[in-house]
Amino acid sequence: MLTLQEISDRLEIQALMAAYAHAIDQRDFARLDTIFTPDAYIDYRAMGGIAGLYPEVKQWLGPALAPFANYQHLVASTDLQLTGDSAFARTACFNPMEVVLPEGRTQVMLLGLWYVDNLMRTAAGWRISERIQKACYRHNVPEHMQSATGPAARDAS
């Protein structure tokens, strides 16, 4: 049976995962300061992004996502292991993204991925201290973007 602390921790981490998705989808990158530790390591390379420390990745996000007309990060099915003031989570993400094609039309590509996270309890609450994307699938990736979404994009689109 879960203790009240474990229930609270699980709910707080679940809320943190949702807060991340909403911050990204609303392009509210300043809000990420309440989601990641200041020294968090983030690796978005599996889906064509960069890897580095949180401040560098935060600066990269706005310009990297600007070309997309719309997108959603739908997170669910978090497998969570708590160990006192630290936690490990693996969370599924379904990420449809509307891409403006060179000729002006739009196309929606569908990306499936996993967020593999290490989290820590801080004085301000739970924060992600490490996030690594793991690719699952890519579908309908526009030809001009196939190399930008990772080496397997050509095979999966």
Torsion sign, CA atoms 136, 141, 143, 144:
negative
For residues 126 and 36, the answer to whether their CB atoms sit within 8 Å is no
Instruction: Report the number of distinct structural domains present in the chain.
Output: 1
Alpha-carbon span 151 to 80, nearest angstrom:
29
Residues 6+ apart with CB under 8 A from 117: 87, 88, 89, 90, 91, 128, 130, 131, 132
pLDDT tens digit sequence for 106-147: 999 999 999 999 999 999 999 999 999 999 999 999 988 886
* CATH code of the domain containing 21: 3.10.450.50
Looking up tokens 């990158």 gives: 29
Tokens of 30: 């300043």
Q: How many CB atoms lie within 10 A of CB 87?
A: 22
What does pTM read for this prediction?
Answer: 0.91
What mean pLDDT, rounded, does the chain reach?
93
| Torsion over CA: 100, 101, 103, 106 (sign) | negative
- Going by the DSSP 8-state scheme, the letter that residue 85 receives in this structure is T
**What is the helix (H) or strand (E) element at residue 112, kind and residue range?**
strand 106-122
Asked whether the beta carbons of 91 and 17 are under 8 A apart, the reply is yes
With cut-offs at 50, 70 and 90, classify the pLDDT of residue 149.
low
The pLDDT of residue 155 is: 37
Residue 134 lies in domain: 4-156
Nearest to 38 by CA among 106, 123, 129, 121: 129
Is 44 within 8 Å of 51 (Cβ atoms)?
Answer: yes
Decide: 115 and 21 in contact? Cβ < 8 Å.
Answer: no
